[in-house]
Structure 1
Amino acid sequence: MEKRPTALVLGAGIMGLCTAWGLLREGYSVRVVDQAPPPNPLGSSVDHHRLIRHAYGAQPGYMRMVDAAYAAWDALWTDLGEVLHVPTGVLAMDEAGGDWIRASRAALREDGRAITDLSGAEVTARFPYLSGEGLDSAFWCPEGGVLLADRIVAALARHVVARGVVIETARAVRVDAAHATLVLEDGSRRSAEVLVVAAGPWIPRLLPSIGQRVTASKQVLVRLAPPPELAETFARAPMILDLSGGFYMVPPVAGTPLKIGDHSFSLQGDPDDPDRTPDPREAERILELARRRIPALDRFTPLGAASCFYDVEPEERFVVEKISRRAWVMSGFSGHGFKFGAVLGQRLAQAIAKPELEAFIPAWAAGDEVVSA
């Protein structure tokens, strides 16, 4: 029997597991190392949901990458035997008529996307559980939805393990990129022909050179249950991006809670801090951002707040590049990387298997619309 090439992946979040999935499809024997079994509750990928949408402001490369992302998710759903995505559409709103909403509208129209401009009164009429008071600009886009993040990570881990991937629970303390090797906490080593480091907010500790470009950022989100009389209404609601209020809302689809978060990055905190208890004042600040748009918010039942960590690149451009002849890093995914997990893992695996594709990956992953061979 022909010997299969070997790959080692650090990180069993969405990026690491999707890369393992891609490498498996390219014929590699894969080992994944993570400090906790997936889905790791401390990982950036592990929450009830993440959003997928085409609206991307002045970043048309990422807007167009969403089509490739959907195609990759479809391939993954086929392999998993289930679809873990709920279509919702996107409602974007802004009081100030800011650059993001103008650029998103222009890019979507130029790309032939179906969007509908709405006035504040039309927002309230179409979505009577919301208030359009004071809005300068809004649009509705029927494309977009919710990825059931923790279910995806769990199902993906089961899938790759069933097909021979080894997932080892161990903490890596050092990366030897030149030799495609990880040094573990107990002093032992794991090596392969190729190494992929997809360690999320732990990247700065393990790869200081990348740590100069990305920052771990503690983010707070709030989970709520709508009152019984609004439960079905909000389960059918779109995702909401309120640029002036500075919040986003994920509807309570498929039995998940409703989630509200903000658009700003704290750019502080330590992902190894054992106490991730959110400051109640931060949770209240996030709720205050949403009250004007969701008039019934104070009737919702609080289900708690949570903290997660992102790895943030200043311009929110993904870092997917070689760090040695035998090693790659995946980093800088902030809050918008999950939607691209399947396609990034798929394309990186293809580039590892076919080195002639390597040169295209970094710029493409950074949103520069480079067309690969």
Structure 2
Amino acid sequence: MTTSYDAIVVGLGAMGSATIYQLAKRGWRVLGLDMFQPGHDQGSSHGYHRMIRRSAIQDDGYVPLADRAFELWAMLEEEAGRKLLSIVGEVRLIHPGGDPHFQSDAEEMQRRGFWEILSETDLAERFPGFRLHTGMLATYEANAGFLWSEAGIIAHIEVARQRGATIHASEEVLSWDIDGAGVKVNTTAGEYTADRLIVATGAWAADLLPGLSLPFQVIRSINGYFEPARPDWWKAESGAPDFLLYVPEGNFYGMPAVDGIGLKIGVSSKETTTARTIRRTVGADEIQALRDALDKYMPGASGPEMRHITCMDAYTRDGDFIIDRHPAHEQVIFGCGFSGRGYKFSPAVGEILADLATDGETRHDIAFLSSQRFA
């Protein structure tokens, strides 16, 4: 016998877990399906934590989305009864790298109230571990920090379940079809129908949205975790901030050591892959590149290696998200292409996807995220 729901959410990572939480909160009968267990390490949201900040260099729709995400994370913390967000600040070290606008961009961000430009003396006094090299600029953003990423997904799912949602983990969706005004979803365990289908499968989105030819590519990235040689400089408990390094060696990002977890550093990669073929091994040369960046710009951060991981992100052609309704099937809604910066926005994205499912529209300005911009 086929079981019917008001909505089916496929993919219970950052975006899908937030969506099913929002739908359950609104009283919808909702089924969540994922091929893995909640908080798994096969996608884009594992590795303990993810960065969050309120700023966006572009004066665009991401700032109000970030503001709303901060509000929703606080609400989830209260409802779930667990700590998910830590504000530790964020230091950026910026090398001009041929960009003539780097100084004016920083000054504009300071004017807008997001960044504080730090002199070399200010940087040394407040964050003595960082090293500026010739021509570089340092900034500080106070309203930034990190989210416990797996815990955030699990919290969304747990609260959704408490509100009546049905969760089927380790059940892969094989296909979906239009069923009158609704949808029929076929999985490795059975068949389900619903009035609405929300696809939030991250790097697997192309598998379930094959006819749309959405312009994103999956990028492999690596993260390394190091026990700091100078914990007085590089532990959150000692006042260490998040960091971004825009330097000739690459664009690096990371969080301080915290709660026994080593200082985390990752690097933006250009290695394209697919969700099913990603290279999970990490080479010694890749770890050395992380260590070299730390030694040059953050001495004392790269003690013994504690762990390394791979993850993947789906990057769109223009770097903006895709949130939209299927052009041929209005009962199908999708979000994908979050371009390496989506996790912090996930509660707001979940709210938007739920709005589109329940109301057909959202109060949030998402016109700039339409898939039709690529048409």
Deviation for aligned residue 1:325: 1.3
> Could you tell me which residue of structure 1 aligns to residue 308 of structure 2?
305
Determine if contact 1:92/1:138 at 8 Å carries over to the other structure. Answer: yes
Matches within 5 A, 1:206-285: 206-227=208-229, 229-230=231-232, 233-235=235-237, 236-245=239-248, 246-266=251-271, 268-273=272-277, 276-285=280-289
Deviation for aligned residue 1:17: 0.6
Aligned length: 358
Cα distance in structure 2, aligned partners of 1:242 and 1:101? 15
Deviations, residues 141-191 of structure 1 (Å, cap 9, x unaligned)? 2111100101111222222222221111311122336742322235x3222
Cα distance in structure 2, aligned partners of 1:135 and 1:289? 17
**Which one is further off, 83-92 or 268-277?**
268-277
Alpha-carbon distance change, 138 to 13 in structure 1, aligned in 2, over 3 angstroms: same
Q: Identity of aligned pairs, percent?
A: 23
Deviation for aligned residue 1:59: 4.7
Q: SS of 1:192's equivalent?
A: strand
> Could you tell me which residue of structure 1 aligns to residue 323 of structure 2?
320
> Could you tell me which residue of structure 2 aligns to residue 201 of structure 1?
203
Deviations, residues 33-72 of structure 1 (Å, cap 9, x unaligned)? 0001101221212221111113322253213321111112
Cα distance in structure 1, aligned partners of 2:104 and 2:34? 41
Cα distance in structure 1, aligned partners of 2:351 and 2:106? 27
Determine if contact 1:197/1:329 at 8 Å carries over to the other structure. Answer: yes
> Could you tell me which residue of structure 2 aligns to residue 175 of structure 1?
176
Cα distance in structure 2, aligned partners of 1:225 and 1:231? 12
Q: Which amino acid aligns with 1:363?
A: A
Cα distance in structure 2, aligned partners of 1:22 and 1:256? 31
Deviations, residues 103-132 of structure 1 (Å, cap 9, x unaligned)? 35414523xx25321123432232112212
TM-score, with structure 2 as normaliser: 0.87
Q: Which amino acid aligns with 1:154?
A: I
> Could you tell me which residue of structure 1 aligns to residue 40 of structure 2?
40
> Could you tell me which residue of structure 2 aligns to residue 370 of structure 1?
none
**Runs (4+) off by over 6 Å:** none
> Could you tell me which residue of structure 1 aligns to residue 373 of structure 2?
none
Deviation for aligned residue 1:351: 3.0
> Could you tell me which residue of structure 2 aligns to residue 91 of structure 1?
91
Larger helix proportion of the pair: 1
In the alignment, structure 2 segments of 5+ residues that lack a partner are 371-375
RMSD over aligned CA atoms reads 2.6
Deviation for aligned residue 1:205: 2.1
Deviation for aligned residue 1:228: 6.7
In the alignment, structure 1 segments of 5+ residues that lack a partner are 367-373
Q: SS of 2:297's equivalent?
A: coil
Alpha-carbon distance change, 101 to 54 in structure 1, aligned in 2, over 3 angstroms: farther
Deviation for aligned residue 1:200: 0.7
Alpha-carbon distance change, 12 to 328 in structure 1, aligned in 2, over 3 angstroms: same
Alpha-carbon distance change, 360 to 149 in structure 1, aligned in 2, over 3 angstroms: closer
Q: Which amino acid aligns with 2:316?
A: E
Q: 1:292 aligns with which of 296, 316, 323?
A: 296
